Amino acid sequence: MPWPKLRIGTRPSRLARVQVEMVRAALCRQVPDLQDNIEVVVFDTPGDRDRSSSLEDLGGRGVFTDNLDACVASGEIDCVVHAMKDMAPTMQSNLVIGATLQREDPREVLVAPGHKSFDALPTGAVFGSSSIRRRALLRRLRPDFQFSLLRGNVEERIAQIENGHCDGTILAYAGLARLGLLNHVQEIFPLDVLPPDPAQGAIGIVCHSDNFIARRALQLINHARTTAEVTAERALLKSLPQPDALALGAIARANGNRLELSALLVSEDGTQEWSGLVTGLVDEADALGARLGGELREPAQRLLSA
């Protein structure tokens, strides 16, 4: 029996299109019958349309994903490809993450034309960012930095920096690697210096829980280790109050049947920090994230009420 057409949703940016092509290629390797039977459907989102507001003002996590998920829930498309760091920690009850691709390097990088390294940046340098986490972590390292809002897709943000909008910014290695833009990187930060956004570097594909054909196909391309890591990181987010308002970096690492999850929570001004580390079995990923979230919940509540 031939496979029916698979309609895959994505955003209009070049990075989103690259990521959906990665999913298409992976599916076609596993199911050659899908080679000419995949339709890519492009949607824009509130985050794509509004380039002047901060992500927090637009609603935080989900501003790039919720509308597309609604199209999956309604049956307009069969699945949608997301950068998992953009996804809200909770989903509609009739949706599932059908697969995650193997994770790209989750680290953060410095893009600062004319500067050799982070330490070489001058006192009072202006950083462009729309991320609470990145601003707080940078203030922790360099309280002299100033900040301005920087929005847009990866290429647009790089162009704004090169045109003098600010001295530099922090971007995800994964996006630059997928776009072939690593030549713009001045420095790659260790995970313990600038811990990344939870699920950074991972691509997830969301489908309807009742779409068994899509789920069957997606399961063929699922990367189990990545799934365990992002499950723990997303469970951490889910267990914290108002996670979009917190400066939180987290990273999970699976090794065999063991999983380690670490997190760093920082006050917005960068002067206070709380860290945590939990370890356990890969099969306990969700519980490990919830456990670490429980350890960080009290300081998170204090920060939110300050």
Mean pLDDT calculated for residue range 124-152: 93
| 137 and 158 part of one domain | yes
Check whether residue 213 and residue 89 sit in a common domain.
yes
| pLDDT average, residue stretch 247-266 | 97
Q: Do 34 and 94 fall into the same domain?
A: yes
What does the DSSP assignment read for 215-232? Answer: HHHHHTT--HHHHHHHHH
Q: What distance in Å separates the CA atoms of residue 208 and residue 122, rounded to the nearest whole number? A: 50
pLDDT in tens, 210-241: 999 999 999 999 999 999 999 999 999 999 99
Residues in the chain: 306
* CA-closest candidate to residue 196, choices 233, 231, 166: 233
CA 204/CA 226 separation, integer angstroms:
10
Rounded (5°) CA angle 53-57-63: 90
pLDDT of residue 306: 79
- Per-residue pLDDT reduced to its tens digit, 152-201: 889 999 999 999 889 999 999 999 999 999 999 999 999 999 999 999 99
Enclosing H/E stretch for 262: strand 258-266
- Please report the DSSP string for 232-265 in residue order: HHHHHHHTSSSGGGSEEEEEEEEETTEEEEEEEE
Distance, in Å, from the CA atom of 263 to the CA atom of 40, rounded to the nearest integer, reads: 36
Query: What pLDDT does residue 47 have?
Result: 64
How many domains does the chain contain in total?
3
pLDDT tens digit string along 38-97? 999 998 877 666 566 555 665 667 777 889 999 999 999 999 999 999 999 999 999 999
Shared-domain flag, residues 88 and 207: yes
Domain boundary pick from 142, 163, 188: 188
CATH number of the domain residue 40 falls in: 3.40.190.10
The answer to the question of residue 197 being in a domain is no
Please tell me whether residues 43 and 132 are part of one structural domain: no
